């Protein structure tokens, strides 16, 4: 085990980010964490932790991102298997570095690792943060949507460290790579005495195509009158060569599964064309849809908030338009 010398304590704010990676490299959401960290304080000391198989290989790309030191736990593929055990690596790193702030992507795995790490470190955790600032007492003000996305809450971890937050995807741009940079400092570490509790048995592609990679999305919202009407819009989406998505309202009513939800508490999408039918356009929906190249909205009135966000806001009856698309 090779250990880099710990950076001397210069009084600067220390921020540790957990980066996720797969075969193709470090995830885009992870690179956004570097920007999020720098948005808290530009002159912070930035540390990264990479866990699991391939971490060593992928850490090389971090050389261009002004990370003070990368901690690598490359001794198994357990990140996807048992987040409680994966969290132990993050905990080990946090105990070594004693950062004031720990940021983790708000992905399925990330939020579980964060929850387990917060328990082990006996500290606060705030989920799905969309923005950060420091208050007068240098505590982290963590902004997140709350109460059914209609409100924004500012949450503090008041007394303990690190202040842990999971960060919503696509809220921060990816951190710009530098052309001129110092060599990367790397610390390779092993988890201490962890019994393997999960065994890998097999892997396959999930059957459903994902909304996040769809080129054309027809999204429906509260304008849907009853569950059986979903079929009509599903058919229209297929006719257009796209996928059907929805706003939170329909998931809450049980009309559509959460895997089809676009928005802060659902999925962030980036289609070339998004057709929003019967969607009022909450800030949270629009945040999930802001990657869309073109938005056409269909509503019965021009009062819907989405009308100002859409490139082509249209007043029409969504049912009639869907029927026309299918028959046309």
Partner 1 sequence: MKIAVMLKQVPLKAAGMDMVRGVILRGQTEKTLNPFDKPALEAALRLREESCSLDVYTMGPSSAANVLKSAFELGADRSFLLCDARFSGADTYATSYALAQAAKLNGGYDLIVCGDRTTDGSTGQCPASLAAHLNIPFCGQVVSIESLHRDSVELTRSSGGKNITISLRLPCVISVAEGKYELRLPSLKSKLAAAKKEYTLLTPDMFGDADPSHYGQSGSFTRVAKVYPARQTKQSAAKKLSPHEASALIVGEAARVKGGAL
The gap between the terminal CA atoms of the chain, to the nearest Å, is 66
- Judged by CB under 8 A, the chain residues 118 through 147 that form the site for partner 1 are 118-120, 122-128, 141, 145-147
Q: Which residues contact 210 (CB under 8 A, 6 or more apart)?
A: none
Q: Which is nearer to partner 1, 72 or 161 (CB)?
A: 161
Binding flag, residue 220, partner 1 (CB under 8 A): no
Looking up tokens 């009856």 gives 317
Q: Which is nearer to partner 1, 20 or 68 (CB)?
A: 20
Strand partners, 188: 72
Candidate residues 26, 55, 93, 273; the one interacting with partner 1 per rule CB under 8 A: 273
Looking up tokens 């049912």 gives 319
Candidate residues 18, 67, 269, 275; the one interacting with partner 1 per rule CB under 8 A: 275
- Judged by CB under 8 A, the chain residues 47 through 76 that form the site for partner 1 are none
Q: Which is nearer to partner 1, 188 or 323 (CB)?
A: 323
Question: How many chain residues bind partner 1 (CB under 8 A)?
Answer: 103
Q: Which is nearer to partner 1, 181 or 294 (CB)?
A: 294
The torsion angles phi and psi of 239, rounded to 5 degrees, stand at -60, -35
Binding flag, residue 226, partner 1 (CB under 8 A): no
- Judged by CB under 8 A, the chain residues 230 through 249 that form the site for partner 1 are 240-242, 248
Binding flag, residue 3, partner 1 (CB under 8 A): no
CB contact at 8 A, 234 and 244: yes
The torsion angles phi and psi of 25, rounded to 5 degrees, stand at 125, -165
Q: Which is nearer to partner 1, 120 or 177 (CB)?
A: 120
The torsion angles phi and psi of 253, rounded to 5 degrees, stand at -80, -5
Binding flag, residue 292, partner 1 (CB under 8 A): no
Shortest CA distance to 213 belongs to which of 259, 168, 270, 261?
270
Candidate residues 112, 170, 175, 185; the one interacting with partner 1 per rule CB under 8 A: 112
Binding flag, residue 215, partner 1 (CB under 8 A): yes
* 319's tokens: 């049912």
- Judged by CB under 8 A, the chain residues 192 through 211 that form the site for partner 1 are 197-207, 210
- Burial of residue 218 (CB within 10 Å: 0-12, 13-18, 19+) is buried
Q: Which is nearer to partner 1, 2 or 122 (CB)?
A: 122
* DSSP conformational letter for 31: H
Binding flag, residue 95, partner 1 (CB under 8 A): no
Candidate residues 38, 45, 58, 85; the one interacting with partner 1 per rule CB under 8 A: 85
Q: Which residues contact 22 (CB under 8 A, 6 or more apart)?
A: 54
Binding flag, residue 98, partner 1 (CB under 8 A): no
């Amino acid at each position: 085990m090779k250990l880099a010398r710990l950076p001397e304590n210069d009084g600067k704010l220390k921020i540790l980010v957990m980066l996720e990676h797969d075969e193709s490299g470090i995830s885009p959401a992870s690179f956004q964490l570097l920007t999020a960290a720098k948005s808290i304080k530009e002159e912070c000391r930035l540390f990264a932790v990479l866990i699991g198989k391939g971490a060593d290989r992928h850490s090389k790309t971090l050389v261009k991102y002004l990370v003070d030191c990368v901690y690598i736990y490359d001794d198994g593929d357990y990140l996807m298997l048992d987040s409680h055990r994966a969290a132990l690596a993050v905990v080990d790193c946090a105990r070594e570095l004693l950062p004031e702030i720990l940021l983790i992507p708000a992905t399925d795995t990330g939020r579980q690792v964060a929850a387990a790490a917060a328990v082990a470190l006996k500290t606060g955790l705030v989920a799905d943060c969309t923005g950060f600032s420091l208050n007068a007492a240098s505590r982290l003000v963590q902004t997140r949507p709350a109460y059914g996305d209609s409100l924004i809450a500012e949450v503090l971890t008041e007394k303990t460290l690190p202040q842990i937050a999971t960060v919503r995807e696509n809220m921060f741009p990816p951190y710009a790579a530098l052309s001129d940079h110092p060599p990367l400092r790397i610390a390779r570490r092993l988890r201490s005495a962890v019994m393997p509790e999960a065994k890998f048995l097999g892997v396959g592609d999930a059957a459903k195509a994902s909304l996040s990679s769809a080129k054309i999305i027809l999204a429906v919202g509260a304008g849907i009158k009853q569950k059986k009407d979903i079929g009509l819009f599903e058919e229209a989406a297929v006719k257009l060569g796209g996928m059907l998505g929805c706003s939170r309202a329909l998931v809450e009513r049980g009309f559509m599964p959460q895997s089809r939800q676009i928005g802060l508490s659902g999925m962030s999408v980036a289609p070339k064309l998004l057709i929003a039918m019967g969607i009022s356009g909450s800030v949270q929906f629009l945040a999930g849809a802001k990657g869309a190249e073109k938005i056409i909205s269909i509503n019965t009135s021009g009062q819907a908030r989405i009308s100002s966000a859409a490139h082509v806001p249209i007043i029409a009856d969504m049912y009639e338009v869907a029927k026309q698309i299918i028959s046309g």
